[in-house]
Structure 1
Amino acid sequence: MSQCHGPKMKMDADLHQDKKPSWIKVRLPNDPVFWSTKSLITDLNLVTVCEEAQCPNRWECWGQGTATFMIAGEKCTRACGFCAVKTAKPDALEDDEPIRVAEASRRMKLKHVVITAVARDDLRDGGAEHFQKTIEAVRTMNPGIVIEVLVPDFNDRDWALQMVMDARPHIFNHNLETVERLTPLVRSRAKYPRSLAVLKKAKAMVNGKVATKSGMMLGLGERKEEVLESMDHLLDHDVTVLTLGQYLRPTPRHLPVVEYLHPDRFAEYKQIAEEKGFRHVASGPLVRSSYHAADFRPELDILEDADRVQPIHGLDLQPEDLPIPAAPSDIVKATVA
């Protein structure tokens, strides 16, 4: 597979709205913590989705000393029409990467870490074991840390998904990305029903003791009724956390921005989603899957009555109160059914 920095266009390029509205503003770094975080990531030879996906919030998040680690390399086997991550033949997995991610989490004193990865369709397990090892290394070195994973679909191989869930992340995130009609155009080799199935099965594999999360990009030409339908589909598949953000085209080779949604539209979608039953909703032009991931704590939802819609506020829980043991991996495997 030859290296390519973006997929070829399949949507009419004339649809693209080139001029960004006033509410699309990216803050430049002016915090010394940003530079120390960048130095740390470079020192440990780690990759972040913050940079690889050209996230518009990376200056802000890094300034707060938070980051989303992207494991299993920086070359993806898929060529999705929205994504800035390189499409190329991946390199071999690095055996010490899980320890490096754990060490970075320790040095940054993270209370909440997000671990994601490129799609590795070249591997039989899609990189599931590498996820498992990274989760276990992070938990062992950082007792009590909340672990969130943002995973590919593993080609719907249940045994691979089970490996990730056996490591017991607190939050399981798999993005729907767009509405059903646009999925064949936006997400290379992905299937809308398969993504929904992965979310539902992940929760079932741990008897509901995980918060499930998904996100969508808006502005690709979706209709309002399609967005609301996708919300219903996610709720039907036991997803409780939703993120909605504006699609921004990374290069001219990528899909066009058909529409820039006004912040009021995002506020409307947030209200609708909450009324439908999502327990946590982040909705705004610059919202991304991991943006301010630690601001709300969906992992606490599983301590509550499953019939309640709104989370209990003011809980002062310690890590040991969570159903997911904050213990070394061998103890986790022995104590978690």
Structure 2
Amino acid sequence: MQKPDWLRVKAPQRERIGAVADLLLDLKLNTVCQEASCPNIGECFAGGTATFLIMGPGCTRACPYCDIDFDKSVRELDPTEPERLGEATQRLGLKHVVITSVNRDDLADGGASQFVACIEQIRQRSPGTTIELLVPDFCGDWDALAAVMAGAPDVLNHNIETVPRLYKKARPQAIYERSLELLQRVREGWPRCYSKSGLMVGLGETDEEVMEVLADLRRHAVDIVTIGQYLSPGPKHLPVDRFVSPEQFDQFRNQGESELGFLQVVSTPLTRSSYHAGEVQRLMQEHPR
């Protein structure tokens, strides 16, 4: 299926992304920008921002839409990773940092302790930086979630990814209701934290199903939602079922904000979970807690 014109982006120039890429290489850090082949890497790297991918690069789940490598082997966590991430945040002068991870179902706490260690290092080296975490579902281990939230992130993001009908196809090791419960628990247990989720379109869902998911997320007290076009990473991954028009993305945003009451819906074909994540600082000023 040929990409429409609105999904075509220019290849990033080396001089625009080189400084960030070189720093990440020097500190031996992974980013989801690189590992997941994000189409916005040129724009974000050129702006001096990145979403750090910890505990990777291999993932213990093999979601057929994702470009991150599957690795079911048990691997020890790198105790120096949080310190290196803190140094990168400081050297890049980031005002807002996003930390995500691969799924680490092989670990007793799903990697919760590594998230907390990263928060501590960033707060130590760059105390003015706001912190957003994009976490897995921890297999429903709510003690692990509580451990992460004890680190007091400013934003907790957990992606719903797709509509419940497509979970068996796209997220076979995840449970729709479990993801909703995680987001609800964040709001109930830590009301000062802003909650966030995201989903892809183009996997075979209908527009009506997307709106049903948005309604579910709002019922579970989610503040911010991102919606973007699914782009298949390669022939071994799920194919694109449809390309959603920019006008429909605008409609998702308008309905989500005006009718459902989200603080923000970022909805464009090239939107990804961490795209323009720094805008959350503006939301925090306009809607303080």
Q: What TM-score, normalized by structure 1, do the two folds share?
A: 0.83
Alpha carbons 2:58, 2:69 under 8 Å: kept: yes
Please list, as runs of the form range in 1=range in 2, the aligned pairs for 1:320-335 lying within 5 A after superposition. Answer: none
Cα distance change on mapping 1:82 and 1:301 into 2, 3 Å: farther
CA distance in 1, matches of 2:74, 2:261: 40
- Superposed CA deviations along residues 121-141 of structure 1, whole A, max 9, x for unmatched, are 000100011111111111111
Correspondent of 2:183 among 193, 199, 202: 199
Structure 1 distance, partners of 2:169, 2:284, is 33
| Match of residue 230, structure 2, among 247, 257, 260 | 247
SS state at 1:255 partner: coil
1:299 to 277, 284, 287: 284
Aligned counterparts of 2:266 and 2:205: Cα–Cα separation in 1: 19
1:223 offset after TM fit, Å? 1.0
Which one has a bigger Cα radius of gyration? 1
Residue type matched to 1:245 in 2? Answer: G
Could you tell me which residue of structure 1 aligns to residue 13 of structure 2? 30
What whole-Å deviation, never above 9, does each CA across 1:68-122 have from its counterpart, x for those lacking one? Answer: 0000121000011210000012532100100100000000000000000000000
Q: Give runs of aligned pairs for residues 128-143 of structure 1, distance below 5 A.
A: 128-143=112-127
Partner of 1:117: 101
Whose relative contact order is higher, 1 or 2, with alpha carbons under 8 Å and at least 6 apart? 1
Structure 2 unaligned spans of 5+: none
Aligned partner of 2:65 in structure 1 is 82
Q: Match of 1:247, as an amino acid?
A: Y
- Return closer, same or farther for 1:125/1:299 CA change in 2, 3 Å cut-off: farther
Cα gap change, 1:301 to 1:80, in 2 (>3 Å): farther
Range that drifts further, 182-191 or 235-244: 182-191
TM-score by length of 2: 0.96
The answer for the alignment partner of 1:47 in structure 2 is 30
Q: Equivalent of 1:259, from 239, 242, 257? A: 242
Partner Cα distance (2:93, 2:11) in 1 = 24
Give the Cα–Cα distance (whole angstroms) in 2 for the partners of residues 136 and 203 of structure 1: 22
Distance in structure 2 (CA, Å) of the matches to 1:300 and 1:183: 36
More helix by share: 2
Task: Select 1:269's aligned residue among 252, 265, 288.
Answer: 252
Query: Which moves more between the two structures, 292-301 or 211-220?
Result: 292-301
1:31 is displaced (CA, Å) by 6.6
1:287–1:57 Cα change, 3 Å: same
The DSSP-based 3-state class of the residue aligned with 2:52 is strand
Kept after mapping to 2: 8 A contact 1:266/1:284: yes
Q: Which residue of 2 aligns with 1:282?
A: 266
Of stretches 142-151 and 180-189 in structure 1, the one that deviates more from structure 2 is 180-189
One-letter amino acid of the structure 2 residue matched with residue 239 of structure 1 = V
CA distance in 1, matches of 2:26, 2:223: 37
Would you say the 8 A contact 2:16–2:42 is kept in 1?
no
Structure 2: how far apart are the matches of 1:148 and 1:31?
Answer: 28
Alpha-carbon contact 1:196-1:237 (below 8 Å) kept: yes
Aligned residue pairs, count: 286
Q: Indicate yes or no: 2:52 matched with 1:69.
A: yes
CA distance in 2, matches of 1:260, 1:280: 23
User: Is this contact kept in 2: 1:213–1:240, CA < 8 A?
Assistant: yes
Q: Matched residues in 1 for 2:233 and 2:269: separation?
A: 15
Does the residue aligned with 2:213 lie in a helix, a strand or coil?
helix
* CA drift at 1:287: 0.2
CA distance in structure 2 between the aligned counterparts of 1:250 and 1:95, rounded to whole angstroms: 31
d(CA) in 1 for partners of 2:269 and 2:12?
A: 19
Distance in 1 separating the partners of 2:280 and 2:29: 26
Match of 1:217 in 2: 200
Distance apart, 1:203 and its partner CA: 2.2
- RMSD of Structure 2 on Structure 1 (CA): 1.2
The letter of the residue matching 1:37 is V
